Amino acid sequence: MSNANVVEKYLTALNNQDLDSIAALYAQDATVEDPVGTPLHTGIEAIREFYTKATSIKLTAELLGDVRCAGEFVAFPFSITLPSEHGPMCIEVIDTFKLNSEGKITEMKAYWNEQNTKLVK
Amino acid sequence: MSNANVVEKYLTALNNQDLDSIAALYAQDATVEDPVGTPLHTGIEAIREFYTKATSIKLTAELLGDVRCAGEFVAFPFSITLPSEHGPMCIEVIDTFKLNSEGKITEMKAYWNEQNTKLVK
C-alpha cells in the first residue's frame, strides 16, 4: 500500500464514521498530536478514544490538494465540515503521518487552530 | 509578527528572488529539510547556499489554502511554478516552519516528491 493510499483510507474512514478502520491504520505504539501544541495521545487505546468523538459525528472530510509523500512521511491538506449550533462549520487542516515499513502510522500531527474554522455560507 | 505573517514574507521573498529577506526569516542555527527524507541544511550559511539556487530562477510561489498555525508551528500548502525544458512546471508542496519566541524559523520541512511535479498546460 503506497503512503498516498493510507490518506485515502483515512479520509474514507472518517466520512464513514468507521472507528475500527481508522484504528487499523495506526501502529500499536503510535502517537497523535491534534492540534499540534496539545498533549499527545499515545498508544492505540488512547488513539481509539480520541477518534471516538470524531466518529460519533456525521462529518465530511475532503482532500484539498495533492497528497505529498516525502521519505517516511506524508502530508496533505483537507477540510472537515461538521454541524454546529450556528450551522455547518468548515475547518482547514494539514495532517502529517509518519509511516513504518509496514505502512502503519506511527506519528500523526494535525496543524490547525480556531482561525482555520469558518461558518459555511 | 504573527506566524502567518512569516509565511507571507517567505512567499513574497521567493517571488522577488530576494535571498537576503529569506535568510532574515531564519534563526542562525536553523535547519532546513527539503524535501523531507534528504540531508539537513544546518545553520544560516548552509541555508543561504540552499536558497541561492531557488532565488537564481524566476519562479512563482502561490499559497494554495489557509495558513495553519498550531503551537510553535505553522503549516501551509503552496505551489512553485518554474521553467523547465518542457515548459512551465508546477510543484505542489507543504511546508512546516517551527518558530522561536522571536518569530524566527528554527526548523523548516518541505513535503513533496516527483509525483507532485506536473507540466502546466
The pLDDT tens digits for A18-41 are 999 999 999 999 999 999 999 999
Helix (H, G, I), strand (E, B) or coil at B91: strand
Whole-model pTM: value is 0.96
Residue B1 scores a pLDDT above 60: no
Measured between alpha carbons, how far is B27 from B15 in angstroms, rounded to an integer?
A: 21
Candidates A68, A93, A112; nearest CB to B111? A68
CATH class of A3-119: alpha beta
> Which pLDDT belongs to residue A1?
56
- Judged by CB atoms closer than 8 Å, whether chains meet at A75 and B68 is answered as no
- Judged by CB atoms closer than 8 Å, whether chains meet at A115 and B71 is answered as no
> Which pLDDT belongs to residue A99?
98
Residue-wise pLDDT for B47-63, tens only, equals: 999 999 999 999 999 99
Chain B residues closer than 8 Å to A64 by CB: 64-65, 77
- Judged by CB atoms closer than 8 Å, whether chains meet at B73 and A37 is answered as yes
Place of cell 543561504: B48
Percent of chain A with pLDDT over 70: 99
Residue B91 scores a pLDDT above 60: yes
- DSSP per-residue codes, chain A: --HHHHHHHHHHHHHTT-HHHHHHTEEEEEEEESSTTSPPEESHHHHHHHHHHHTTS--EEEE-S--EEETTEEEEEEEEEE--TTS-EEEEEEEEEEE-TTS-EEEEEEE--GGGEEE--
> Which of the residues of A are catalytic?
10, 34
Residue B36 scores a pLDDT above 60: yes
Closest CA to A24 of A33, A12, A38: A12
Chain B residues closer than 8 Å to A37 by CB: 70-73
Mean pLDDT taken over chain A: 96
> Which pLDDT belongs to residue B110?
98
The answer for B106, left when phi > 0, alpha when psi is -120 to 50, beta otherwise, is alpha
Interface residue B68 vs chain A (CB under 8 A): yes
> Which pLDDT belongs to residue A2?
77
- Judged by CB atoms closer than 8 Å, whether chains meet at B96 and A93 is answered as no
Looking at domain B3-111, its CATH architecture is Roll (3.10)
